[in-house]
């Protein structure tokens, strides 16, 4: 029993009740001013529904609840109190969302339309759509993960080095082949005859003037004037003498002068990557690095001069060998420098001994011997060309090993500065040698005998080749840098066949193949037996 003016315990707001039906929605909650909600409250809270009653009995229960006076008590005593644990049994708010547990019955037993009334008929379709949506979401997420993993593998540091390595190999092959063929073609160059003769020599105009004078003075018959040989013999006119390129030392000295551009190219690289500091700061860092390694100015210039002479002699020997050999033969012989580098590194730098590289050295030597006698034992010109190209490769190997011995492993900035100093010393100190060879008549430096366009093209291509050789180790592996030396051989062979109708067969072909095999054996890693063991176990 309750006192007058007191709210029954079932409506006491201090008591927390857990409703069996959770009603959520954006509409306002049912309060005491709503007749339907009040009646519904009475029906659901205070009136016991018989087990056999249907859903329609809720209406009568609503009316009975309204006559119990609960609405008057709520209105008179506390009109602000509302409750949310009941709904109208006869009407549902369309703005409300009803959440029904799966194991809770929605209506009294015997009600056949309750599930349909609360939307239970569409639950399976909704769950199917949700499962399909979840399936599509998982599939798209899996595809995104695969693409992300592929991107990470393709753009990793290892992959980028591989891409750079392939590009470096292609560029080195193109520049090395192009420079060698430009030097070879300079020896095939012949100056035009009209540019060689003076005005009083045997040109077409002077020949016509001579014919007129002979008619007037000596009354020579017209038939004898057509014989130029007789007229030249009579007046001692010099015969036609084609002028060929014959200045290999000057060409080597000219090529070496382009080493001055190493450090400017390095600065341009810094500017392109937006890492350029002040020029004074860069030079200060380079000089500080040499000072920390114990180099004084005199010692540094002395070392650079020795390297300059060695570099110039190597370039001269290679240029001179192309006067006799095809470009492919010279390239194959120069590629043997990798075997010499390993042999000198083993002796001087005390690197690890690898047996397979000794086999590579033997194969390279055998290939050199086959190329030396490819035209017969009596052909001394071919033998001299092979010796010159082999000495050029050995000189380049000595340069590389001694550079590592004296300079260590300097950074790219110091390497660029060293090669720039090398070019500067070459241009400043070694020009008297060029002048002496010209004055003694050993080399011809006339403007007609030097193909300047080929000379500049070869100089630029050699600059690109050496820049890639020295700088590419910063962006890729040394294997790709060295690989450009041997990939140039087949490319050059194709050009020799097209340009000069060269024939690669017999001892020449065997020598080139043996040098190529030896080259690849030298590039084998020191722990190559471990790789083979792993392959056999798989």
In a domain, 164, yes or no: yes
Virtual CA dihedral for 412, 418, 421, 425, nearest 10 degrees? Answer: -150
Q: Give the per-residue pLDDT at 73.
A: 40
Q: Give the per-residue pLDDT at 362.
A: 92
| 355 — pLDDT class (breaks 50, 70, 90) | confident
Contact 511, 363 (CB under 8 A): no
**The total number of structural domains that make up the chain:** 1
Q: How far is CA 109 from CA 49, 51, 300, in A?
A: 11, 7, 105
| 39 — pLDDT class (breaks 50, 70, 90) | very low
| 494 — pLDDT class (breaks 50, 70, 90) | very high
Look at residue 186 and tell me whether its pLDDT is greater than 60.
yes
Indicate the helix (H) or strand (E) that contains 97.
strand 96-99
The angle formed by the CA atoms of residues 490, 493 and 497, to the nearest 5 degrees, is: 145
Q: Residue 214 and residue 197: Cα distance in Å, rounded? A: 21
Q: Residue 192 and residue 474: Cα distance in Å, rounded? A: 47
pLDDT tens digits, residue range 88-106?
444 444 444 444 444 444 4
Q: Residue 342 and residue 337: Cα distance in Å, rounded? A: 9
Virtual CA dihedral for 442, 448, 453, 455, nearest 10 degrees? Answer: 0
Q: Residue 117 and residue 468: Cα distance in Å, rounded? A: 80
Contact 243, 448 (CB under 8 A): yes
- pTM check: above 0.85: no
Q: Residue 495 and residue 501: Cα distance in Å, rounded? A: 9
Q: How far is CA 384 from CA 312, 327, 515, in A?
A: 19, 15, 19
Q: Give the per-residue pLDDT at 142.
A: 77
| 198 — pLDDT class (breaks 50, 70, 90) | very low
- Please indicate whether residue 153 or residue 82 has the higher confidence score (pLDDT): 153
Q: From the CB of residue 32, how many other CB atoms can be counted at a distance below 10 Å?
A: 21
| 63 — pLDDT class (breaks 50, 70, 90) | very low
> Three-state SS for 451?
coil
Look at residue 3 and tell me whether its pLDDT is greater than 70.
no
Look at residue 48 and tell me whether its pLDDT is greater than 80.
no
| 116 — pLDDT class (breaks 50, 70, 90) | very low
Residues 402-421 have a mean pLDDT of 91
Long-range CB pairs of 488-491, under 8 A, 24+ apart, other chains included? 488/172, 488/173, 488/176, 488/177, 488/180, 488/331, 488/335, 489/328, 489/331, 489/332, 489/335, 489/515, 489/516, 491/173, 491/177
The β-bridge relationship of strands 96-99 and 22-25 is antiparallel
Q: How far is CA 125 from CA 129, 132, 513, in A?
A: 6, 11, 73
Q: Give the per-residue pLDDT at 81.
A: 40
Look at residue 425 and tell me whether its pLDDT is greater than 50.
yes
Q: How many helices (H) and strands (E) does the chain have?
A: 24, 2
In a domain, 35, yes or no: no
Q: Give the per-residue pLDDT at 249.
A: 95
pLDDT tens digits, residue range 207-255?
455 455 545 544 444 444 445 445 445 445 455 566 778 899 999 999 9
Look at residue 135 and tell me whether its pLDDT is greater than 80.
no
In a domain, 482, yes or no: yes
Look at residue 206 and tell me whether its pLDDT is greater than 70.
no
| 67 — pLDDT class (breaks 50, 70, 90) | very low
pLDDT tens digits, residue range 287-329?
898 998 888 999 999 999 999 999 999 999 999 999 999 999 9
Look at residue 190 and tell me whether its pLDDT is greater than 50.
yes
Q: Residue 515 and residue 23: Cα distance in Å, rounded? A: 88
Q: Residue 61 and residue 51: Cα distance in Å, rounded? A: 14
- Please indicate whether residue 79 or residue 486 has the higher confidence score (pLDDT): 486
Under 8 Å CB-to-CB from 510, ≥6 apart: which residues?
367, 370
Residues 63-90 have a mean pLDDT of 40
Contact 497, 292 (CB under 8 A): no
In 10-82, DSSP assigns E strands to 22-25
Q: Give the per-residue pLDDT at 257.
A: 95
Q: Residue 168 and residue 479: Cα distance in Å, rounded? A: 10
Query: pLDDT over 90 for what percent of the chain?
Result: 34
Contact 336, 390 (CB under 8 A): yes
In a domain, 348, yes or no: yes
Q: How far is CA 273 from CA 276, 284, 410, 419, in A?
A: 8, 20, 21, 22
Q: From the CB of residue 485, how many other CB atoms can be counted at a distance below 10 Å?
A: 24
Look at residue 145 and tell me whether its pLDDT is greater than 50.
yes
Q: Give the per-residue pLDDT at 447.
A: 81
Length in residues, the chain:
538
Residues 335-345 have a mean pLDDT of 92
Query: pLDDT over 70 for what percent of the chain?
Result: 62
In a domain, 168, yes or no: yes
In a domain, 272, yes or no: yes
> Three-state SS for 197?
coil
Q: Give the per-residue pLDDT at 280.
A: 80
pLDDT tens digits, residue range 270-287?
877 766 667 788 888 888
Q: Give the per-residue pLDDT at 467.
A: 92
> Three-state SS for 538?
coil
In a domain, 219, yes or no: no
Q: What rounded mean pLDDT belongs to the chain?
A: 73
Contact 493, 328 (CB under 8 A): yes
Residues 171-187 have a mean pLDDT of 94
Q: Residue 194 and residue 202: Cα distance in Å, rounded? A: 9
Nearest to 343 by CA among 394, 408, 387, 392: 394
| Domain extent at residue 184 | 158-191+244-537
In a domain, 147, yes or no: no
Residues 251-274 have a mean pLDDT of 89
């Amino acid at each position: 029993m309750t006192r007058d003016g007191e709210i029954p315990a079932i409506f006491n707001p201090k008591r927390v009740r857990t409703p069996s039906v959770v009603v959520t929605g954006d509409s306002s909650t049912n309060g005491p001013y709503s007749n339907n909600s009040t009646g519904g409250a009475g029906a659901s809270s205070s009136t016991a529904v018989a087990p056999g009653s249907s859903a329609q009995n809720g209406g009568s229960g609503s009316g009975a609840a309204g006559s119990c006076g609960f609405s008057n008590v709520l209105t008179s005593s506390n009109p602000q109190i509302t409750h949310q644990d009941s709904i109208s049994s006869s009407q549902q708010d369309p703005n409300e969302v009803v959440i029904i547990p799966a194991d809770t019955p929605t209506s009294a037993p015997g009600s056949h339309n309750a599930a349909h009334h609360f939307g239970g008929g569409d639950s399976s379709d909704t769950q199917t759509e949700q499962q399909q949506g979840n399936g599509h979401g998982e599939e798209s997420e899996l595809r995104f993960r695969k693409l992300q993993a592929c991107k990470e593998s393709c753009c990793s540091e290892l992959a980028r080095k591989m891409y750079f390595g392939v590009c470096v190999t292609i560029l080195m092959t193109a520049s090395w082949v192009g420079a060698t063929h430009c030097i070879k073609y300079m020896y095939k160059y012949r100056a035009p005859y009209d540019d060689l003769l003076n005005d009083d020599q045997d040109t077409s105009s002077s020949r016509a003037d001579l014919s007129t004078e002979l008619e007037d003075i000596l009354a020579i018959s017209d038939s004898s004037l057509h014989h130029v040989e007789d007229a030249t013999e009579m007046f001692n006119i010099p015969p036609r003498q084609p002028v060929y390129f014959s200045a290999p030392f000057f060409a080597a000295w000219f090529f070496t002068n382009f080493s001055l551009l190493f450090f400017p190219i390095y600065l341009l690289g810094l500017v392109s990557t937006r890492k350029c500091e002040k020029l004074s700061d860069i030079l200060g860092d380079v000089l500080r690095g040499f000072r920390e390694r114990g180099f004084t100015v005199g010692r540094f210039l002395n070392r650079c001069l020795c390297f300059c002479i060695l570099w110039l002699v190597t370039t001269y020997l290679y240029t001179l060998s192309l006067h006799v050999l095809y470009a492919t033969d010279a390239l194959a012989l120069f590629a043997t420098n990798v075997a010499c580098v390993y042999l000198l590194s083993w002796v001087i730098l005390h690197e690890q001994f690898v047996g397979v590289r000794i086999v590579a050295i033997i194969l390279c030597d055998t290939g050199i011997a086959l190329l030396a006698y490819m035209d017969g034992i009596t052909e001394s010109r071919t033998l001299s060309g092979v010796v010159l190209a082999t000495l050029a490769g050995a000189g380049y190997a000595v340069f590389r090993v001694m550079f590592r011995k004296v300079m260590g492993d300097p950074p790219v900035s110091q390497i660029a500065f060293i090669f720039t100093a090398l070019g500067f010393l070459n241009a400043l100190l070694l020009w008297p040698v060029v002048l002496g060879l010209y004055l003694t008549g050993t080399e011809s430096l006339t403007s007609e005998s030097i193909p300047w366009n080929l000379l500049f093209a070869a100089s630029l291509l050699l600059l690109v080749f050496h820049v890639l050789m020295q700088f590419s180790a910063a962006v890729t592996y040394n294997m790709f840098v060295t690989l450009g030396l041997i990939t140039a051989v087949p490319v050059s062979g194709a050009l020799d066949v097209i340009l000069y109708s060269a024939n690669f067969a017999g001892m020449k072909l065997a020598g080139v193949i043996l040098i190529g095999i030896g080259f690849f054996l030298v590039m084998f890693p020191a722990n190559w037996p471990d790789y083979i063991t792993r392959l056999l176990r798989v």
